[in-house]
Amino acid sequence: MDDTPNLKLPYIAAAQAQKRVTHNEALRLLDALVQLSVADRDLAEPPAEPQAGERHIVATPATGAWLGRDGRIASFEDGAWAFLEPNEGWRAWVADENVLLVFDGAGWVSFGGGVPSVNPVSLLGVNTLADTTNRLAAKSDAVLFSHDDVTPGDGSIRFKVNKAASDKTASLLFQDDWSGRAEVGLAGDDHFHFKVSADGETWRDAIVIDKDTGAVTLPLSLYREVLTAARTYYVRSDGSDGNDGLANTAAGAFLTLSGAYNAIAASIDGAGHDVTIQVADGTYAGLYATAPLIGVREMKIVGNTATPASVVFGANYVEADITISFSGCTISAAGTYGISMKIGTLRIRSAVVFAAASIQIWLASRGQCLVDNNYTVSAGAGQHLRLDAQTYYYANGRTITVSGTPAFTEFIVAQQQAMAVFYACTISGSATGKRYNSTKYAVIDTNWSGASFFPGDVAGTAVNGGAYI
């Protein structure tokens, strides 16, 4: 045998003369083949001015000095072209394309296309970089998964998403600018969830399918839970409006009054029972409530009745035909209203303090306020009480304590056929400003308690058909 079996390198024969010739020939072959890198693979004839050591994969159909050498490696050595016939498995780097090719026995193909398997591979990125979190990553306008018609398969395709345990998650997450908006799958349990989010942080179940029964529940739909007894929900400063509000823990409680109210309005039929929102100590944005409550007798907002200063609410706006009460809280809303009540009924239950506001209690559009217990006014306002448009305020045997000497534009204003009744009531303390203003056929009834019943240092007025009794 004169040559090596794989690379066809010439042997030096025994007692051969000029051994250097054979040895140098073998070195030239090694220089051409080891760490094989070719200039290109798309030339069918030699370049006009090749450089020493320049290599090419001869394209088809070859012509000129390369005629009949299709697919071979052409190496320019000692001023002439030498041709090397590849064996299956030879690899070559193509410099002008930055690709790695492999010879599969019939032709040169992409290294990825010529290798039947990359199993296993730790990371795989298509048009992007994979990482240790997203080990398979792709950037593409479309992704296609099809049944196997090559092996062939049986014509079916199943997409499997597996998780380790029931409390883990196996889901499809849909994002907008990398922020989650919808999620479908086994999210934290083995029931099938359809969830949505407005911000990627707070998630709500829209549909839940029970794994055992197949029963479908629609937590936020018109299919409401019907209460069989009074219920308490919780609000805490470390809660979340994505919680269900049924446990007095950070993981269970709501974060805001409005979050609690809207969840109740969307999912509960009170069936004539009271619903309480129990609020932990802290400072909170006020309630914004416009959705109706179905079947709820009274919505009770309860803070700390022993220390109402420990639970502070901002401005509260209610425009719904409901009955809602406040207990154990301080209403502080400088520059705006403390409680604005339209249409429905406001009840002041116990231990309520009205701090700075433009209007501390504002009744409008047939809203009414029933005072069920004593309360305190701790700071001034444009008005403590304002009644518009056929509204009604009623206090019987209550004491309103005015602390300090706060300033008011008017302590009470009633207009447009509104009516305020203070029957056998006491207002203790002093203030500055106009005591009252009754106008446009409104009535302020103090049960004949006199012109100085309300605190102030400016006399009140009853004009334009308004009455003061």
String of DSSP letters for 318-386? EEEEEEEEEEEEEEEEEEEEEEEEEEEEEEEEEEEEEEEEEEEEEEETT-EEEE-S-EEE-S-EEEEEE
Q: 297: which 2 tokens? A: 């007798």
Q: Where do we find the tokens 């012109």?
A: 451
pLDDT for 36 equals 82
Q: Report whether 152 contacts 130 (CB < 8 A).
A: no
Q: Where do we find the tokens 């207009």?
A: 415
Phi, psi of 33 (to 5 degrees): -105, -35
Q: Report whether 393 contacts 363 (CB < 8 A).
A: yes
pLDDT for 162 equals 95
Residues 259, 204: Cα–Cα separation, whole Å: 12
Which of 415, 288, 303 is closest to 348 using CA atoms?
303
pLDDT for 37 equals 85
Residues 123, 120: Cα–Cα separation, whole Å: 9
Q: 230: which 2 tokens? A: 């009074």
pLDDT tens string for the chain (469 positions)?
566 555 555 656 666 667 655 555 655 656 556 778 899 998 999 999 998 888 899 999 999 999 999 999 998 888 888 888 888 888 889 988 888 899 998 898 888 654 445 567 788 888 888 888 998 989 999 999 888 887 778 889 898 999 999 999 999 999 999 999 999 999 999 999 999 998 898 888 889 999 999 988 877 655 688 999 999 999 999 999 999 999 999 999 999 999 999 999 999 999 999 999 999 999 999 999 999 999 999 999 999 999 999 999 999 999 999 999 999 999 999 999 999 999 999 999 999 999 999 999 999 989 999 999 999 999 999 999 999 999 999 999 999 999 999 999 999 999 999 999 999 999 999 999 999 999 999 999 999 999 999 999 999 999 999 999 9
pLDDT for 195 equals 92
Residues 266, 15: Cα–Cα separation, whole Å: 101
Q: In sequence order, what are the beta bridge partners of 90?
A: none
Q: Taking the CB of residue 381, how many other CB atoms lie within 10 A of it?
A: 28
pLDDT for 80 equals 87
String of DSSP letters for 129-167? ---SSSSEEE--S-------TTTT--S--------SSTT
CB within 8 A of 34, min separation 6: which ones? none
- CB under 8 A, 24+ apart: contacts of 338-343: 338/362, 338/381, 340/315, 340/316, 340/364, 341/367, 341/368, 341/369, 342/318, 342/366, 342/367, 343/319, 343/367
Residues 230, 295: Cα–Cα separation, whole Å: 11
- Exposure string of 365-375, with b = 16+ CB inside 10 Å and e = fewer, is ebbbbbbebbb
Global pTM reads 0.57
pLDDT for 425 equals 98
Provide the Cα torsion 279, 281, 282, 286; round to 10°: 30
pLDDT for 10 equals 60
pLDDT for 271 equals 94
Q: 76: which 2 tokens? A: 């320019």
The alpha carbon of 262 is separated from its chain's Cα centroid by a whole number of angstroms, namely 18
pLDDT for 305 equals 97
Residues 395, 8: Cα–Cα separation, whole Å: 112
Angle at 173 between CA 169 and CA 178, to 5 degrees: 125
Q: Where do we find the tokens 């109740």?
A: 264
Q: Kindly state the DSSP code that residue 188 receives in the 8-state scheme.
A: S
